[in-house]
Amino acid sequence: MKEIKEQVANFTEGLEVNEVEELALIEIKNLEFTKEIKEYLEQFSALEHLTINMCGLKDLNNFPNLPKLVELEMMDNKLKDGHLAQLAHLTLLESLFLGGNDLATPEAFVPLAKKLTQLKHLEVLENPLTEKDNHRATLFSLFPELNIIDCFDKEGNEIDLDDIDSEFDGDDDDEDGLEDGEEEDEDEEGEDYEEDDGEDEDEEEDETEKKLKK
């Protein structure tokens, strides 16, 4: 429990427990969800992203109830068929990363099929089930909203996930570019205004000099 709290502290500094949206537990040996750990994690009621990688997880009994969780990563553990049913209460989950476990068949996900109706991205690389023919087709059929398994879409096209992220970044860049352009236009208008003022002042000086000469 001490090691868990030490790692959690990296994400909670300056925040109330109900403000924490992301936690990561990495390389905690032989992690088990005891009642104490379950209750400790459940206090983070706003949690949306949880990572538990390389922790030797052998089952998901007492997995915490985290109603706002949208992304769960449990890679390089020891999870097997029959363990995933413990995740059925995570009904808002959109991304589930389970690479590097011992999941043997696509049917391991059947208990989640009618519960995780928002699931869009699933990763199962380096599990025995990937050796099964048409394992992706089976998984896509279980989850209607699922768009990507590992790096492939429903048509079998390989998806570059970095490109998807870049598209979102590009939208932000476009907005920034628009704002910069607007500021430049305002600056140019200001310069034109200053030039006009300068021309008016020159004309007034010329008229004054002509009157004095007369």
CB 4 within 8 A of CB 25: yes
* Each residue's pLDDT tens digit, 73-104: 999 999 999 999 999 999 999 999 999 999 99
Whole-model pTM?
Answer: 0.76
CA proximity to 71, closest of 94, 98, 52: 94
Q: Which residue has the tokens 């589930």?
A: 96
According to CATH, the topology of domain 2-159 is 3.80.10
Domain boundaries, the chain: 2-159, 160-214
* Each residue's pLDDT tens digit, 134-166: 999 999 999 999 999 999 999 999 988 776 554
Lateral strand order in the sheet of 22-26:
22-26, 49-53, 71-73, 95-97, 121-123, 148-149
* Two structure tokens written together for 41: 């994690």
